[in-house]
Amino acid sequence: MLTRKIKLWDINAHITCRLCSGYLIDATTVTECLHTFCRSCLVKYLEENNTCPTCRIVIHQSHPLQYIGHDRTMQDIVYKLVPGLQEAEMRKQREFYHKLGLEVPGDIKGETCSAKQHLDSHRNGETKADDSSNKEAAEEKQEEDGDYHRSDEQVSICLECNSSKLRGLKRKWIRCSAQATVLHLKKFIAKKLNLSSFNEIV
C-alpha cells in the first residue's frame, strides 16, 4: 500500500485559530456553523460580537456564548499532529498558576499526567489493551451514580431530513453530552421512532 507524506504546513489552515493565527488551544466550535477557534479567543471576540468570525453567521442575538462548545476531538487531533504542543501548553498553564500563587487545577494536572503517559507508551512501543474496558467501566459507573453525563460539556445537534418525501421534525434539535457518538444518536432516534433496530437508520 502506497503512503504519502503530508507536510504540517499543508493542513495548518484546518488546525489553527482564525482569530490568533496560532494552533488551536482548548478548541471550541460554534454549534451553528461548526467553525472552530481557541476558546479564549472566541469568548473574548463574542464579548462584543454575536457572529461567527469566519462566516459571519449570527450565532445568537443576545447569548452567543451559550451556542459554542468544547471540541475534544479537534483538540486531540491538533495535539497529535503538532509535536510538543500539549506539553508546552500544560507547562504554560502551570507556570501561570504558580506565578499567581494559586493551586494548579486538577484537570490541568490530569491532562499533564495523561500526556506524559501517552508519550511514554509510544516511546516504549507499548499499547494498553484494557483502555476500552476501563472506559466502559467508567461510563457504567457514572450512569449508576445517576448523572447520565449531564455534567459533561453539552452540544446541540440538528436532525435534518435528506429526503423531500419525508416531513421535517417539529423538534429537530437534540442537546446531549459532547462525548455522545453517532451510535448513541442512532439508538436514541430508533427508540423515539419505535424502530426494531437502530441499523434501520442511515
Q: Write the pLDDT tens digit of every residue in 84-132.
A: 999 999 999 889 888 888 887 765 655 555 555 555 554 455 444 445 5
Q: Which percentage of the chain shows pLDDT scores above 70? A: 74
> What's the CATH superfamily of 8-81?
Zinc/RING finger domain, C3HC4 (zinc finger) (3.30.40.10)
153 confidence band (pLDDT: 50, 70, 90): confident
pLDDT of residue 117: 54
pLDDT at 202 over 70: no
> In the structure grid, which three cell numbers stand for residue 144, read together?
449508576
CATH 3.30.40.10, the chain: domain bounds: 8-81
pTM > 0.85: yes or no: no
Q: How far apart are CA 86 and CA 76, in angstroms?
A: 9
> In the structure grid, which three cell numbers stand for residue 202, read together?
442511515
Contact present, 117 and 134 (Cβ < 8 Å)? no
C-alpha distances in angstroms, 181 versus 71, 116, 138, 184, 202? Answer: 13, 27, 16, 5, 15
